[in-house]
Structure 1
């Protein structure tokens, strides 16, 4: 069954044990920044003290990082990165040839550390498609205590070209594809056309799991 407001699915083991399905791993590229920006906060719309916002539809991305047992993962580091509204990434292999198109006001990368409830939040832009990747997406990486735990992507539920996207298909069957999608919904009463999306992330293993087996 679906978690209320989220995308995590339950799977049953035995008669009584019930756990969440782990979010599928998906490719990191392209393009994890080869040079991280000086401003690495969770607001990708405005860089530093600038008053000029990024081009694009503002999106509030929120969610929780959970174990398969449904427990929140605190002190986890979550990174996101994505291309700007003109489909240019914060990476020299992409941006060097597209300086005229690149949005200088889009941070392109952000980082957040979860609190006791495992929650995270970012303000970014609604993702856009580009040649070779027909499914709009936001890249995500989760780490804890120096251990990289998961790299995945968040895509838009119901987007008509998702099925043409090789990375989306690589998530697996329909049940697993559901785990890499979020509902992008208009923010009620927003005067500037903002969006919200909730994307819960379920980790298959955490550093605590490894310590318990040692």
Structure 2
């Protein structure tokens, strides 16, 4: 590990845990790949701004974690989850998968194609993440949109008192440089790990 790598690793902030929430899928959908904006067997595309969430899964020393299983789930563009417990009087979106999975490669990278998260009553825009795998401590957390006005009033987010740790969950969404009409944001996840993973 070079001095610069050691310095970078020393500055890594462990990703804080957050609530799983009540809307984790009761059953995993048959289509559970990492593209949430298209559902297998349907011709349409999800409503909302298509957003690419990319990043790396690392340990606290900055080593890439291969073989980490990442699950995400979120509400649709109207603010409703694909879950029987969400009884808001807003539409479901049959073209939005709502849940996806990805397993990191040797370099620890992951990617999801989803929609820009939206607020719903009481919550800032967010995406739920669950990370698990051999040699790592499982983590459930949430990713938020940097600059969203609802962030200041979200009680789950603001239960994190340390502003530096809280900001580690904020992701700036920008125009995708290579895909017209899509957004992209980077969310690196830092876990406790015991080194049994591949690097």
TM-score normalised per structure 2? 0.88
Q: Structure 2: where are the runs of 5+ without partners?
A: 1-6
Deviation of the 1:125 alpha carbon:
0.2
| CA–CA separation in structure 2 for the residues paired with 1:195 and 1:155 | 14
| CA–CA separation in structure 2 for the residues paired with 1:146 and 1:85 | 36
Pick from 98, 108, 127 the counterpart of residue 117 of structure 2: 127
Which position in structure 1 is the counterpart of 2:42?
50
Which position in structure 1 is the counterpart of 2:193?
206
Deviation of the 1:143 alpha carbon:
0.3
Residue 110 of structure 1 pairs with residue 100 of structure 2: yes
Deviation of the 1:31 alpha carbon:
1.2
* Preserved CA contact (<8 Å) 1:26 1:171: no
Which position in structure 2 is the counterpart of 1:3?
none
Q: Structure 1: where are the runs of 5+ without partners?
A: 1-9, 12-16, 210-214
Which position in structure 2 is the counterpart of 1:37?
29
Deviation of the 1:25 alpha carbon:
0.5
Which position in structure 1 is the counterpart of 2:166?
177
| CA–CA separation in structure 2 for the residues paired with 1:139 and 1:90 | 13
Residue 90 of structure 1 pairs with residue 82 of structure 2: yes
Which position in structure 1 is the counterpart of 2:153?
164
Deviation of the 1:146 alpha carbon:
9.2
Pick from 160, 183, 188 the counterpart of residue 195 of structure 1: 183
Deviation of the 1:160 alpha carbon:
2.0
Residue 64 of structure 1 pairs with residue 56 of structure 2: yes
Deviation of the 1:50 alpha carbon:
2.0
* Preserved CA contact (<8 Å) 1:85 1:127: yes
Q: Deviations over 1:84-117 (max 9, x none)?
A: 00111121111xx358610011000000000010
Deviation of the 1:19 alpha carbon:
4.9
Equivalent residues, number: 190
TM-score normalised per structure 1? 0.82
* Preserved CA contact (<8 Å) 1:25 1:171: no
Q: Identify, as 1 or 2, the structure richer in strand.
A: 1
Paired residue secondary structure (1:26): coil
| CA–CA separation in structure 2 for the residues paired with 1:147 and 1:38 | 27
Which position in structure 2 is the counterpart of 1:154?
143
Which position in structure 1 is the counterpart of 2:3?
none
Deviation of the 1:21 alpha carbon:
1.5
Paired residue secondary structure (2:106): coil
* Preserved CA contact (<8 Å) 1:19 1:70: no
